[in-house]
């Protein structure tokens, strides 16, 4: 069954003040439009990027609000984007993560898609410093239930600095973007975790959320070392576990990246080597030539160490 063609939601024209839906778009078409953007849309993004580089915030906002199509993935509305106008729910929730470095955004996109099978699609924002995605949730009966599922998502992902909970608002517009390497799957699993709305504003002392230092006059966000270590090792594990051919080239590339994270100080070379050796021994393809593959891993991790790759 082609679920991507069956799931549909509303789209709106390039004027944020016009809240009248123009029609329905399938999730499949939504994904394709991001993978194959039109020349007209790309010209708007070029203009937005130019305005941003020149520091013209007002022009950037105007271009985005008046020239980009947008969507409401979570619900279908009658006559305007208001809760009172909701006629049905789509089984989708949008995710928005901002304020990342470009390399970090790419890594996070891959990590989230591989780790959470509930993502129908996940892609980079036009700035390449953000990650957006659509998660499959149950068809809810009302706004309250939608927010309970979204709270469950937030509880799971709020350890990521830059996670924006604003899409908990079903009427929030999702502007069209583009990512030639958008990741998608037809058979997304259904998100099952709910969160307690009554406690959503109460600080959770056991939260995995990284420490953030707010310094007056400094907008820098500091993320915990554990955060980067987790991302690095999980991405590496997913890459090694996927190997069923071309063992040496794929292993070498993955280990070079992991070694560069060691050079940046996110984890030790001992931790990297230990992870590599374990995964090689437990991979059905690589385990057939353990000795040579371990030599490749050792060389690549040490080589990568001399070329540190920082997230920010």
Contact 259, 302 (CB under 8 A): yes
- Break the chain into its structural domains and give their ranges: 3-195, 225-305
d(CA 126, CA 136): 23
Contacts of 202 (CB under 8 A, 6+ apart): none
Residues of the chain with pLDDT under 50: 199-222
Pairing outcome for strands 70-72 and 174-175: antiparallel
15-42 confidence digits (pLDDT tens) = 778 888 999 999 999 999 999 999 988 9
Best CA proximity match to 161, nearest among 183, 124, 182, 130 = 130
Best CA proximity match to 242, nearest among 124, 113, 95 = 113
At 126 the pLDDT is: 85
At 198 the pLDDT is: 57
d(CA 74, CA 146): 9
d(CA 304, CA 130): 26
At 209 the pLDDT is: 37
Contact 165, 154 (CB under 8 A): yes
Burial class of 131 by CB neighbour count within 10 A (0 to 12, 13 to 18, 19+): buried
At 247 the pLDDT is: 87
At 63 the pLDDT is: 85
At 220 the pLDDT is: 32
């Amino acid at each position: 069954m082609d679920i991507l063609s069956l799931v549909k939601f509303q789209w709106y024209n390039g004027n944020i003040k016009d809240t009248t839906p123009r029609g329905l778009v399938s999730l499949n078409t939504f994904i394709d439009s991001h993978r194959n953007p039109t020349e007209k849309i790309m010209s708007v993004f070029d203009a937005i990027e130019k305005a941003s580089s020149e520091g013209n915030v007002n022009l950037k906002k105007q271009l985005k609000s008046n020239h980009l199509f947008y969507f409401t993935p979570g619900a279908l509305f009658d006559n305007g984007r208001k809760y009172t106008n909701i006629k049905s729910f789509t089984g989708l929730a949008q995710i928005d993560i901002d304020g990342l470095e470009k390399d970090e955004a790419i890594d996070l996109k891959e990590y989230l898609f591989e780790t959470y099978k509930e993502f129908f699609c996940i892609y980079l924002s036009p700035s390449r410093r953000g990650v957006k995605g659509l998660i499959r949730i149950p068809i809810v009966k009302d706004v309250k239930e939608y927010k309970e599922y979204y709270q469950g998502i937030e509880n799971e992902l709020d350890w990521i600095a830059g996670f924006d909970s604003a899409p908990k608002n079903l009427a929030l517009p999702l502007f069209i973007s583009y990512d030639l390497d958008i990741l998608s799957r037809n058979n997304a699993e259904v998100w099952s975790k709910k969160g307690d709305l009554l406690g959503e504003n109460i600080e959770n002392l056991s939260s995995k959320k990284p420490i953030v230092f707010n310094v007056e006059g400094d907008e820098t966000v500091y993320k915990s070392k554990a955060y980067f270590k987790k991302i690095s090792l999980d991405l590496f594990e997913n890459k090694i576990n996927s190997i069923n051919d071309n063992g040496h080239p794929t292993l070498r590339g993955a280990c070079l990246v992991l070694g560069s994270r060691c050079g940046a100080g996110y984890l030790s070379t001992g931790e990297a080597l230990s992870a590599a050796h374990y995964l090689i021994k437990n991979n059905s393809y690589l385990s057939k030539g353990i000795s040579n593959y371990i030599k490749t891993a050792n060389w690549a991790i040490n080589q990568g160490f001399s070329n540190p790759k920082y997230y920010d």
